[in-house]
Structure 1
Amino acid sequence: MAKTTGAQVIADMFKGYGVTHVFMVPAVLRRTFAELEFRTDIARIHTHGEKSAAYMADGYARASGKPGICMAQVVGALNLAAGLRDAWLAQSPVIAMTGGRDPRTKFRKLYQEVDDVPAFEPVTKWNATVDAPERIPDMVRQAFRAAVTGAPGPVHLQFRGNEGQIDAEEAEMEAEIDERCARVPPFRPEPEPEQVDRVLALLREAARPIFVVGGGVRNSRAQAELRALAEQLQIPVATSLNAKDAIPANHPLSVGVVGSYSRESANLTVKRADLVCFVGTEAGGMTTHIWQVPAPGIAAIQIDINPETIGRNYPLQASLCADARAALTRLMERAGTQPPVNRRAWLDEVAGLKHRWYDKYLPALTSDAIPIRPERICHELSLHTPDDAMVVVDTGHAGMWMGGMFDLRSASQSYIRSAGHLGWAFPAGLGAKCAQPERPVIVFTGDAGFWYHIAELETAVRWKINTVVVVNNNGGGNQSKRGFDRVYGGQQTEKGRELWTYTQVDFAEIARSIGAVGIRVTQPAQFAGALEQALAAGRPAVIDVVTDIEVLAPPPVA
Structure 2
Amino acid sequence: MTQTRRLTVAQATIAFLGAQYSERDGVEHKLFAGAFGIFGHGNVAGLGQALLQAELEDPDLLPYVLGRNEQAMVHSAVAYARQKDRLQTWAVTTSVGPGATNMVTGAALATINRLPVLLLPADTFADRSASPLLQELELPQSGDVTVNDTFRAVSRYFDRVWRPEQLPSALLAAMRVLTDPAETGAVTICFPQDVQAQAHDWPVELFEKRVWHVARPAPERSLVDVAAEAIRSARRPVLVAGGGVHYSQATGALAAFSEATGIPVGQSQAGKGTLVYDHPQCLGAIGSTGTTAANAIARDADLVIGVGTRYSDFTTASRTAFQAEGVRFVNVNVAAIDSVKQSGLAITADARETLDALRVALDGHRVDDAYV
Residue 334 (structure 2) aligns with: 305
Residue 216 (structure 1) aligns with: 244
Matched, 1:77 2:100: yes
Indicate if the aligned counterparts of 1:71 and 1:96 stay in contact, CA closer than 8 A.
yes
Distance 1:20 1:310, change over 3 A: closer
Q: How does 1:300-449 map to 2 (within 5 A)?
A: 300-312=329-341, 314-316=342-344, 318-335=345-362, 338-347=363-372
Matched, 1:4 2:6: yes
The two structures have a TM-score, normalised by structure 2, of 0.85
* CA distance in structure 2 between the partners assigned to 1:151 and 1:219 by the alignment: 13
Query: Which whole-Å deviations, capped at 9, do the CAs of 1:380-429 have from their partners, x for residues lacking one?
Result: xxxxxxxxxxxxxxxxxxxxxxxxxxxxxxxxxxxxxxxxxxxxxxxxxx
Deviation at 1:106, TM superposition (A): 7.2
In proportion to residue count, which structure has more strand? 2
* Gapped regions of structure 2 (runs ≥ 5): 21-29, 138-145
Q: Secondary structure of 1:309's partner?
A: helix
Indicate if the aligned counterparts of 2:121 and 2:148 stay in contact, CA closer than 8 A.
no
Deviation at 1:276, TM superposition (A): 0.5
* CA distance in structure 1 between the partners assigned to 2:197 and 2:304 by the alignment: 51
Residue 90 (structure 2) aligns with: 68
Indicate if the aligned counterparts of 1:24 and 1:47 stay in contact, CA closer than 8 A.
yes
Residue 284 (structure 1) aligns with: 312
Identity %: 25
Q: Secondary structure of 1:218's partner?
A: helix
Deviation at 1:271, TM superposition (A): 0.9
Matched, 1:189 2:208: no
Q: Secondary structure of 1:241's partner?
A: coil
* CA distance in structure 2 between the partners assigned to 1:231 and 1:279 by the alignment: 16
* CA distance in structure 2 between the partners assigned to 1:128 and 1:88 by the alignment: 16
Indicate if the aligned counterparts of 1:126 and 1:156 stay in contact, CA closer than 8 A.
yes
Amino acid at match of 1:87: A
Which one of 113, 118, 121 corresponds to residue 90 of structure 1? 113
Query: How much is the aligned-residue C-alpha RMSD, in angstroms?
Result: 2.0
Amino acid at match of 1:84: A
Indicate if the aligned counterparts of 1:32 and 1:167 stay in contact, CA closer than 8 A.
no
Matched, 1:166 2:196: yes
Amino acid at match of 1:22: A
Indicate if the aligned counterparts of 2:155 and 2:188 stay in contact, CA closer than 8 A.
yes
Deviation at 1:96, TM superposition (A): 0.6
* CA distance in structure 1 between the partners assigned to 2:340 and 2:129 by the alignment: 45
Amino acid at match of 1:25: I
Indicate if the aligned counterparts of 1:31 and 1:167 stay in contact, CA closer than 8 A.
no
* CA distance in structure 2 between the partners assigned to 1:122 and 1:63 by the alignment: 25
Query: Which whole-Å deviations, capped at 9, do the CAs of 1:234-289 have from their partners, x for residues lacking one?
Result: 11110100010111111000001111222222111211211101111121211101
Larger relative contact order, structure 1 or 2 (CA cutoff 8 Å, min sep 6): 2
Indicate if the aligned counterparts of 2:125 and 2:192 stay in contact, CA closer than 8 A.
yes
Amino acid at match of 2:132: K
Indicate if the aligned counterparts of 2:125 and 2:195 stay in contact, CA closer than 8 A.
no
Residue 25 (structure 2) aligns with: none
Deviation at 1:194, TM superposition (A): 0.6
Indicate if the aligned counterparts of 1:12 and 1:39 stay in contact, CA closer than 8 A.
no
Q: How does 1:34-53 map to 2 (within 5 A)?
A: 34-37=52-55, 38-41=57-60, 42-53=62-73
Which one of 172, 184, 187 corresponds to residue 141 of structure 1? 172
Indicate if the aligned counterparts of 2:155 and 2:185 stay in contact, CA closer than 8 A.
yes
Indicate if the aligned counterparts of 2:125 and 2:131 stay in contact, CA closer than 8 A.
no
Count, aligned residues: 337
In proportion to residue count, which structure has more helix? 1
Distance 1:132 1:165, change over 3 A: closer
Amino acid at match of 1:62: R
Deviation at 1:315, TM superposition (A): 2.3
* CA distance in structure 2 between the partners assigned to 1:39 and 1:12 by the alignment: 10
Greater shift, 40-49 or 1-10, is seen at 1-10
Deviation at 1:170, TM superposition (A): 2.2
Deviation at 1:21, TM superposition (A): 2.2
Indicate if the aligned counterparts of 1:30 and 1:165 stay in contact, CA closer than 8 A.
no
Amino acid at match of 2:292: E
Matched, 1:275 2:300: no
* CA distance in structure 1 between the partners assigned to 2:333 and 2:209 by the alignment: 28
Indicate if the aligned counterparts of 2:275 and 2:282 stay in contact, CA closer than 8 A.
yes
* CA distance in structure 1 between the partners assigned to 2:210 and 2:358 by the alignment: 31
**After TM superposition, which residue ranges in structure 1, 4 or more long, deviate above 4 angstroms?**
none
Residue 33 (structure 2) aligns with: 20
Amino acid at match of 2:186: P
Matched, 1:30 2:48: yes
Query: Which whole-Å deviations, capped at 9, do the CAs of 1:475-532 have from their partners, x for residues lacking one?
Result: xxxxxxxxxxxxxxxxxxxxxxxxxxxxxxxxxxxxxxxxxxxxxxxxxxxxxxxxxx
* Gapped regions of structure 1 (runs ≥ 5): 348-558
The two structures have a TM-score, normalised by structure 1, of 0.57
* CA distance in structure 1 between the partners assigned to 2:157 and 2:269 by the alignment: 26
* CA distance in structure 2 between the partners assigned to 1:199 and 1:106 by the alignment: 62
Amino acid at match of 2:162: D
Q: Secondary structure of 2:159's partner?
A: strand
* CA distance in structure 2 between the partners assigned to 1:284 and 1:342 by the alignment: 27
